[in-house]
Amino acid sequence: MDVPALLDWFDETARDLPWRAAGTTGWGVLVSEVMLQQTPVARVAPIWQEWMARWPKPSDLAAATQGEVLRAWGKLGYPRRALRLHAAASAIADDHGDVVPADVDTLLGLPGVGAYTARAVAAFAYGQRCPVVDTNVRRVVARAVHGAGDAGPPSTTKDMADVAALLPEDAAAAAKASAALMELGAVVCVARGPRCADCPVFDGCAWQRNGRPAYAGPAKAVQKFAGTDRQVRGLLLDVLRDTDEPATKARLDRVWSDAGQRDRCLDSLLVDGLVEQTPDGRFALPGEHGAVSPRG
């Protein structure tokens, strides 16, 4: 792959995303990466701006209640990420001098920080040369390097080696290349309808050379949503996000007709710590109304 061409393209056309502004701290990068897990850029941007204004340091977020954090998370989805980020902020404040660690292995010890996020922070916040592998990068490598229509199932070891082989030796250039690979996958080498006419690495693309074969790997599992526990949990949490006062069980019962599924979901939310029960038996977001110890 023509990495210099990719770097030039990135310099010229990179999106002006708020967390890419000069002066963004490691904390800002970490918050952005967690919010961006499985969530589109357009939905994250305004929430990230609010968080940075409200909680500019890890200790600021750590001082908030879980309920405040979940409300500020809004409808980004997968709200357990918000609780994990809150826990990570406490760990950073308590154990790391209120500064997001730069070491990948240390980052991996934080709640909600996995293989992708740890390396994204190391590269984008601290300019390190380490492979950053997300769904965009895997698709770009599958096409441009391997000539396939799309990436197969994730293989951490092989994916990391593929990307490591592409990175320039210089750390700053490598970090920029990591951002550029992601940008290419997000903007040009997209899953449906890739814009190959605008691609900076078109000439060396193995997928073009192969005649643009269709994806040949195993079928990818389709995520159902309608009627699942995820939908019901989302409906329950939405009620609690919208009210300052705890909600009665009767109020929550209105969100879903199937009592068995509804109760199972409320139970799982209590177990996950996303909901608490108040001493009088009502339900609320955690940390704000003197909870009874969660059962389970």
Active site members: 33
Residue 21, burial from CB neighbour count under 10 angstroms (0-12, 13-18, 19+) = exposed
Q: Among 103, 238, 245, 280, which residue interacts with DNA (rule: CB under 7 A)?
A: 238
- Structure tokens belonging to residue 147: 């000539």
Q: Which is nearer to DNA, 88 or 93 (CB)?
A: 88
Q: Which is nearer to DNA, 17 or 173 (CB)?
A: 17
Binding to DNA in span 172-201, by CB under 7 A? 182-183, 185-186, 190-193
Q: Among 10, 123, 126, 134, which residue interacts with DNA (rule: CB under 7 A)?
A: 134
Main-chain dihedrals φ then ψ at residue 234, nearest 5 degrees:
-65, -40
Of 271, 276, 270, which is closest to residue 288 (Cα–Cα)? Answer: 276
- Mark residues 46-75: x for contact with DNA by CB under 7 A, - for none: -----------------------------x
Q: Among 23, 216, 225, 295, which residue interacts with DNA (rule: CB under 7 A)?
A: 225
- Binding residues with DNA: total (CB under 7 A): 59
Beta carbons within 8 Å of 91's beta carbon, 6+ residues apart: 109, 110, 111
Which residue stretch of 169-177, 223-231, 246-254, 285-293 sits at the interface with DNA (rule: CB under 7 A)? 223-231
Give kind and range of the element (H or E) at residue 239.
helix 229-241
Does the protein bind DNA through residue 1 (CB under 7 A)? no
What letters, b where the CB count within 10 A reaches 16 and e where it falls short, cover 104-119?
beebeebbbbebbbbb
Q: Among 114, 217, 279, 281, which residue interacts with DNA (rule: CB under 7 A)?
A: 114
**Pair 41, 186: CB distance under 8 Å:** yes
Cα angle for residues 173, 179, 181 (degrees, 5° grid): 100
Which residue stretch of 32-40, 98-106, 244-252, 283-291 sits at the interface with DNA (rule: CB under 7 A)? 32-40
Which residue stretch of 49-57, 96-104, 168-176, 232-240 sits at the interface with DNA (rule: CB under 7 A)? 232-240
Of 69, 73, 21, 67, which is closest to residue 44 (Cα–Cα)? Answer: 73
Does the protein bind DNA through residue 136 (CB under 7 A)? yes
Q: Which is nearer to DNA, 187 or 206 (CB)?
A: 187
Give 283's strand partners: 247, 277
Does the protein bind DNA through residue 276 (CB under 7 A)? no
Does the protein bind DNA through residue 32 (CB under 7 A)? yes
CA–CA distance, 268 with 183 (Å, rounded to integer): 37
> Binding residues for DNA, per CB under 7 A?
17, 19-20, 32-33, 36-43, 75-80, 84, 111-118, 120, 134-136, 139, 153, 155, 182-183, 185-186, 190-193, 220-223, 225, 228-231, 233-235, 237-238, 268, 274
